[in-house]
């Protein structure tokens, strides 16, 4: 699992978002805008 941004090496922030197709864990970088979403089962 990622803990640092692969693009700029800054620490990733993590949260959960609910979308119509389910709940997702979202990791994002406030520095460069990198974003990764994974479905939570």
Taken in order of first residue, the domains within the chain and their CATH numbers are 1-41 (2.20.25)
CA 24 – CA 15 distance, rounded (Å): 8
Supply 36's token pair: 């990764």
Contact between 14 and 25 under an 8 Å Cβ cutoff? The reply is: yes
Which residue has tokens 């979308």?
19
What integer pLDDT is reported at residue 40 of this predicted model? 87
Question: Cβ contacts of residue 37 below 8 Å, gap of 6+?
Answer: 17, 24, 25, 26
Per-residue pLDDT 10s for the chain (41 aa) are 789 999 999 999 999 999 999 999 999 999 999 999 999 87
Q: What is the pTM of this model?
A: 0.77
């Amino acid at each position: 699992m990622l803990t640092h941004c692969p693009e700029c090496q800054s620490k990733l922030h993590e949260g959960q978002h609910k979308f119509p197709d389910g709940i997702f864990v979202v990791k994002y970088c406030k520095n460069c805008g990198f974003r990764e979403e994974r479905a939570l089962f």
